[in-house]
Structure 1
Amino acid sequence: MGVEFGVTWEVLSIIGTIAFAISGAIIAMEEEYDILGVYILGIVTAFGGGAIRNVLIGVPVSALWDQSMYFHIALISITLVFLFPNHLLKHWRKWGNLTDAIGLAAFAIQGALYATEMNHPLSAVIVAAVLTGCGGGLVRDLLARRKPLVLHDEIYAVWAVMAALFIGLNIATTPISLYVLLVGIVGLRMCSLFYKWRLPFRSLRQERGTEM
């Protein structure tokens, strides 16, 4: 990995760590977790996707413990959110969704770059992007006893797949193009929320009044 891509990797890691740590902390506070629960959920959200990705693509889990700088960044981010005045956090739906979108985009791109650097095929690049971008949020939602966003009919993991395709097919090949891709994925994720875009789904629930 060249110097420019190395810098891009670091920037994406920092952006994703901050965004997901904040997202996890806000959800923990919304669920009225104590301070320990806030830190745990924030850390799990920030690092869960990378840990799952490493296991599945053959990177030792111990590599996670070499990221002390990112742990410090996550802890500082969680602390700042915990100390924020309540009236600034009442708009959680707007800011929480934005930080989640930023984390999704940054980590999906990072996961795709990771798999590409290891010369994995396109299918593995897609899996790495989806797991890295969505894994932390998936674990966060499960621990918070919420239906995981990635499993909704709501469009979420599709944007991670799109990031993987741009990188795996060598469409985004420069640091600038990766940053443009980051902004594009965040924008599309927020548009899918604002305009309520949905994937096709089927419901097996019977309408009320029609049960036998």
Structure 2
Amino acid sequence: MSEWIYFFDLWGTAVFALTGALAAGHHRMDPFGVLVLAGVTAVGGGSIRDALLGTTPVFWLQDPTYILIVLATVIATIIFNRTSPNAPWYVLPIADALGLALFTIIGTEKALSLGLSSISAVIMGVLTGVGGGIIRDVLCRQVPMVLRTEIYATASIVGGIAYCICLSTALDHFTSMCIAMLSAFGIRLAAIKWHLSLPAFDLKR
């Protein structure tokens, strides 16, 4: 089971590094800027999670594979951009949705493995899923997606809850992870396609 979690974690790192690199490209950053934005997007949420859980040094300091994944993703993105046409507009939001789903379940699982309650685990999952994207958007001087009316954090919350519910049944860990990730990913894709959003809070004067 731990091998699957590690695989999903590395895959999520690559996906979020890709979203950071693409965002840097949209803002015409230099290669170092691309690396920084990809790095904070990929490991930002997990770093905050580990700091709150007290599991230090944080994961990417213990295992340099994560840094190598980020570096490889950045290099591949830069090379691909120079040799191929610009990526379609939907690549970034879809990649971000996949990273959100992957990291949500990874964060939830890590919190559960430390003996935290399901509520706390879901919170840690959401933080892992949205943390890197928040840092990325702030550095790009944009309002983070999690703070917009468009459904984003809600998809992460549903994924975390689905994972905890699946684990409480007879389903095994791998099946539970797949169901939960598909739940979060599907909700986020639906929000992107049909522009689903929560009602905005309008302060009455």
TM-score by length of 2: 0.91
1:156 maps onto 2:152 in alignment: yes
Give secondary structure in 2 for the equivalent of 1:84: helix
Shift of 1:180: 3.1
Shift of 1:22: 0.3
Q: For 1:170-189, list aligned pairs within 5 A.
A: 170-171=167-168, 173-189=172-188
The percent of aligned pairs where both chains have the same amino acid is 29
Instruction: Mark the CA change 1:63 to 1:95 in structure 2 (over 3 Å): closer, same or farther.
Output: closer
Shift of 1:82: 1.0
- After the TM superposition, which of the residue ranges 118-127 and 176-185 deviates more from structure 2? 176-185
Q: For structure 1, which runs of at least 5 residues remain unmatched after alignment?
A: 207-212
Q: Which amino acid is 1:144 matched to?
A: C
Q: Do the aligned residues in 1 keep the contact of 2:13 with 2:70 (CA within 8 Å)?
A: yes
Report Cα offsets for 1:72-128 as digits up to 9, x if no partner: 11110111001113553341x200011101110000000000001011012211111
Q: Which amino acid is 1:199 matched to?
A: L
Q: Distance in 2 between matches of 1:138 and 1:62?
A: 19
Q: Which amino acid is 1:182 matched to?
A: M
Shift of 1:202: 2.1
Q: Distance in 2 between matches of 1:200 and 1:123?
A: 24
Q: Distance in 1 between matches of 2:173 and 2:120?
A: 21
Aligned to 2:138: 142
Give secondary structure in 2 for the equivalent of 1:88: coil
Q: Do the aligned residues in 1 keep the contact of 2:111 with 2:121 (CA within 8 Å)?
A: yes
1:126 maps onto 2:131 in alignment: no
Q: For structure 2, which runs of at least 5 residues remain unmatched after alignment?
A: none
Aligned to 1:103: 99
Q: Distance in 2 between matches of 1:183 and 1:63?
A: 25
CA RMSD after TM alignment: 1.8
Q: Distance in 2 between matches of 1:143 and 1:65?
A: 23
Q: Do the aligned residues in 2 keep the contact of 1:167 with 1:173 (CA within 8 Å)?
A: no
Shift of 1:56: 1.5
Instruction: Mark the CA change 1:84 to 1:165 in structure 2 (over 3 Å): closer, same or farther.
Output: same
Q: Do the aligned residues in 2 keep the contact of 1:51 with 1:61 (CA within 8 Å)?
A: no
Aligned to 1:88: 85
Report Cα offsets for 1:2-42 as digits up to 9, x if no partner: xxx20221121112101100000000010011110000000
Q: For 1:40-59, list aligned pairs within 5 A.
A: 40-59=36-55
Q: Distance in 1 between matches of 2:64 and 2:48?
A: 18
